[in-house]
Amino acid sequence: MAVFVLPSAGHNYQMASPALRGSATGQPLPSLGSSGSLGLGLMGGSLALVASGKRAVHRSAFDASKQIGATAPLGYFDPLGLASTEAAFNSMRSAEIKHGRVAMMASVGMVFQHYVKFPQLAGTPSGVAAIYDEKVLPFAAFLFVLSGALELSFWKEDKSQPGSMGDPMRLATGAVYGGYTEEWRNREINNGRMAMLAVLGQIVAELATGKDAVEQLAR
DSSP string, 119-146: GGGTTPPPGGGGGGSTTTHHHHHHHHHH
Per the model's pLDDT, the better-predicted residue between 143 and 164 turns out to be 143
**Euclidean distance between CA atoms 104 and 198, whole angstroms:** 9
Angle at 53 between CA 52 and CA 56, to 5 degrees: 85
Least confident of 53-62, 89-98, 207-216: 53-62
Banded model confidence at residue 1, pLDDT cuts 50, 70, 90: very low
**Euclidean distance between CA atoms 162 and 68, whole angstroms:** 11
Instruction: List, in order, residues 6 or more apart from 187 with CB less than 8 Å away.
Output: none
Q: Is the pLDDT of residue 80 over 60?
A: yes
Q: Is the pLDDT of residue 205 over 80?
A: yes
Residues 31-45: pLDDT tens digits?
Answer: 445 555 555 555 555
Residues 139-151: pLDDT tens digits?
Answer: 889 988 998 888 8
Report the pLDDT value the prediction gives residue 3, as an integer from 0 to 100.
44
Sign of the CA dihedral running 132, 133, 136, 142: positive
Q: Is the pLDDT of residue 4 over 60?
A: no
